[in-house]
Structures are given as C-alpha cells and as structure tokens.
Amino acid sequence: MFISSRVSMHLKSVVFKTVPSDSGKERVAAVTCQLEPFSLRLAHELGMDVAEHCFVEEGPDFRMREEVGNVAFRPQYGLQRVIAYPDANSPRLAVLDDVTVASMRVVRQEDEKRGTAWWKFCCTLLVGLADAKARAFLADYFDTELCFDFHGIQRDLVLEEQRSASVAESAD
C-alpha cells in the first residue's frame, strides 16, 4: 500500500466479525486506521488516481481540491504484510500477515477559526485471527498511534514500478 516506511497512523478501532470465505466463514478483525494530515506524497504512494482526486496542480505547487469533501476508493493492493512499531525508532511490536485492504477514503477536515483545511485518510484492514499474537496485538493496541510498514505479498511488479516512479516525480 504505502511505499514509505513507518507511516504514523492512529489504529482507531478493531471490530471482530465473520466474513464469507472459500471454506465457509472466516473470523477476522476489521481494523480502522486514520492518518491526518494526509499529504500529497502519501497520496502519490497510493497511486495517481488518489493524488488527482485529492490535489490539483497549481503552477509549480499543488493544493487541496476545494470541490471535494469525501472520496471513497476501491483498493487493489493484494495481500499485505503489515509490520507495526510503537514509534519511528523502536523495534517492531507485531507482524500481521495476509492483511486485506478492504476500503480507503479521504475526508476533508476544516478549522474555520484558523482558516485551514486538510485531508484525513481512513482505511479498513481485514486481519485474520488465526494467529494468537495478532489477536493479542489488536486487543492491546487499538485506539493507539503507531507506525506501520506495508509490504505486498502478491505484487504486480509493473504497478509497483509505476507507483514508485510517480513518488519519485512528486519529490522533484
């Protein structure tokens, strides 16, 4: 999903539920993560379609799209391995394998007093509950600010190259 390492996100909530699977029903945790402010660089890491829905080029710079208030995206990242850290400099807390990015959206946030606006990024991850360490991690760390690494397990290398090139161009 994100190319950057140790992306700081709020692990907002965890809901345990069952979902249909090839073998009947599977128990999963629907994990909601939030990131704000959501930057142009991170939008580019998710793909040009995300960046273009959220930001518009204005001369040499980019600005938030004023006409957009809330955008939902259909993520297509394949299975992810998610590594959680307590902060940017500490050893890992947990490794969550076979994570599915179920949904993503950005929501416009405003502070009218200050006259500022920013994007809040929200995503829902489906995490299998077969691993006792994953269950314990989710129970212990919900409603906590953590850092995350996302690694594709089944990657389309061409798509990954395109996303990396897009990020490199936005950094120039």
Q: Render pLDDT for 97-121 as a digit per residue (tens, 0 to 9).
A: 989 999 999 999 999 999 999 999 9
Interval 34-58 mean pLDDT? 92
Give the model's confidence band at 23: pLDDT under 50 very low, under 70 low, under 90 confident, else very high: confident
pLDDT of residue 164: 65
The predicted pLDDT at position 125 comes to: 96
**Is the pTM here over 0.85, yes or no?**
no
Query: At a CB cut-off of 8 Å and minimum separation 6, what does 88 contact?
Result: 6, 8, 147
Domain map (residue ranges) of the chain:
7-158
pLDDT band at 158 (very low <50, low <70, confident <90, very high): very low
What token pair was written down for 3?
């190319």
Asked if residue 162 has pLDDT above 80, the reply is no
Query: Residues 5-14: what's their mean pLDDT?
Result: 96
